[in-house]
Amino acid sequence: MSDDQDNGQDTGRALPERGLPAERVLGDIGALRAGDRPTHGGRLFAYVYDPAVPGLDELAAAAHASSAHVNGLDPTAFPSLLAMENALVGAASRLLGGGAGTGAPDVVGSVTSGGTESLILAVKAARDARPDVAAPRIAVPVTAHAAFAKAAHYLRVVLDPVPVDPVTLRPSAAAVAAAIGPDTVLVACSAPSYAHGVVDPVAEIAAVAAEAGVRCHVDACFGGWTLPWLRRLGEPVPPFDFTVAGVTSISVDLHKYAYAPKGVSVLLHRTPALRAPQFFAYADWPGYTMVNPVIASTRSGGPIAAAYATLRHLGEDGYLRLAAATRDAVAGLADAVRGTDGLRLLAEPESTVVCFTSTDPTLDLFVLVDELTARGWHTQPQLSYADLPASVHLTVTAAVAPRVAEFGPDLADAAAAARAAGPVKLPAELTALAATLTPDALTPELVAGLAAALGLGGPGAGLDGTAADGAGGFAPDATVNALLDAAPPALRERLLVEFVGLLQRPTY
């Protein structure tokens, strides 16, 4: 950023001595944004959800601005927000087997800031519904989202991991049953899992949970807004919603496949009684009595209004069209993988994910990811875990559809280049270090040294190791992934915590 206003010293500081004109401020943000991965254009397969609908961004931004200063703290002060929240919850409920129809469950819900908050609240509600259990536990498939582990950690609940079949990548109902004990307050499953896009056997798992008298949460954060449309399009989507008797709560993120801007998820409960322990109220202080359905107290109306506008603008017909485009894109990308020597789909696509692995030791997936990045395709590497190999994840959205024909040739080209470059060769002492170092022995200095040696630590570095092209220019990212891959999970966690600690430093 150039400076013409702040004594020649402004490098983008948030609080300059003298305020800057609006155009200058926006120009500076634009300059910062130029170093980001592309949020639009159908070439980024994680983090963003792009329907490529002309005018939608502008509509959502206008709606966001209209309610940005409205506060969700008190639903009686801002009835506009309450009305929009109730409408969003109603839409999600109707899509997922609730609703006003005869026989449908009396589903209620809350709008949260995202999938993680929805899952934390599902766990809190389950925990607080069982004050008789001194040391509550939750049974969660290992393929379920890491936010369950975060919820368990925050809420001091023990997480019992349920193994999955290494081929189907699904937990069996028997494995879930085996994980349920007298202190289990919640069973979880995914529809679908983020990593592989696989839908768990929800009906069987919910039956096992119901039999044990335990709540069953379906994490449909990722797929709850696509599976119903895919089913309407004739795809074989198994039952996963409130039409399944034992399902007690469902989460669905509107900032994913409902294509709303970030900051909106819906947590649904089958009945008001199931939701009640989710709420927090406090009157034992001299200020206003606080009643919070969700974690945040003050909440901006912006994301809620933006989501409301997005849903109303796209409508059922729009989502059906977008789901059809996404389904076709998934099929095309999966074909490209099938047609590339040395690659194999880790799971047959059944939702909106394409996930593949390497079957050829000379074709290093992490090198392939870098080669794809160099060709403008931003994929997400996934490290090996237990008996599951490392893989490459593609979250596919409607914007990808027009790009699919370009992907196959680039994938083949990238694979050839990755083979020619050969697998990452970590220095032997580094591999040994990764395998033997204990997380406690990892000092900030050691991580700083490692980061420096690997060329990491500035803007644009990807947490997953992938470089942001443009301003960042971080290299060599396959090396970082190879190093992380060689380390056990506890060490990966510590390394990345220290690394993010290095990144998150104030600028003056």
Ligand X SMILES: Cc1ncc(COP(=O)(O)O)c(C=O)c1O
Residues forming the site for ligand X (CB under 6 A):
114-116, 119, 145, 147, 190, 194, 219, 221-222, 253, 265
Q: Is 167 exposed, middle or buried (0-12, 13-18, 19+ CB in 10 A)?
A: exposed
Q: Which is nearer to ligand X, 222 or 259 (CB)?
A: 222
Residues contacting 407, CB < 8 A, separation 6+: 332, 333, 336, 377
| CB 121, CB 217: distance < 8 Å | no
Q: Which is nearer to ligand X, 265 or 358 (CB)?
A: 265
Phi and psi at residue 365, to the nearest 5°: -60, -35
Strands 343-345 and 265-269 turn out to be unpaired
Residue 148: CB minimum distance to ligand X, A: 8
Residue 341: CB minimum distance to ligand X, A: 30
Residue 442: CB minimum distance to ligand X, A: 26
Smallest CA-to-CA distance from 310 within 302, 353, 402 is with: 302
Residue 117: CB minimum distance to ligand X, A: 7
Q: Which is nearer to ligand X, 202 or 482 (CB)?
A: 202
Q: Which is nearer to ligand X, 222 or 319 (CB)?
A: 222
Q: Which residue has the tokens 């060599």?
A: 476
Residue 194: CB minimum distance to ligand X, A: 3
Residue 307: CB minimum distance to ligand X, A: 13
Q: What is the DSSP string of 38-95?
A: PSSSS-B-SS------TTHHHHHHHHHHHHTT-BTT-TTT-HHHHHHHHHHHHHHHHH
Residue of this chain nearest to ligand X (CB atom):
115
Burial 265-299 (b: 16+ CB within 10 A, else e): bbbbbbeeebbebbeeeeeeeeeeeeebbbbeeeb
Q: Which is nearer to ligand X, 204 or 219 (CB)?
A: 219
Q: Which residue has the tokens 């980024």?
A: 44
Q: Which residue has the tokens 């490392």?
A: 390
Q: Which is nearer to ligand X, 228 or 423 (CB)?
A: 228
Euclidean distance between CA atoms 412 and 67, whole angstroms: 47
Strands 184-190 and 137-141 turn out to be parallel
Residue 18: CB minimum distance to ligand X, A: 38
Q: Which is nearer to ligand X, 394 or 491 (CB)?
A: 394
β partners of residue 475? none
Q: Which is nearer to ligand X, 230 or 336 (CB)?
A: 230
Residue 89: CB minimum distance to ligand X, A: 17
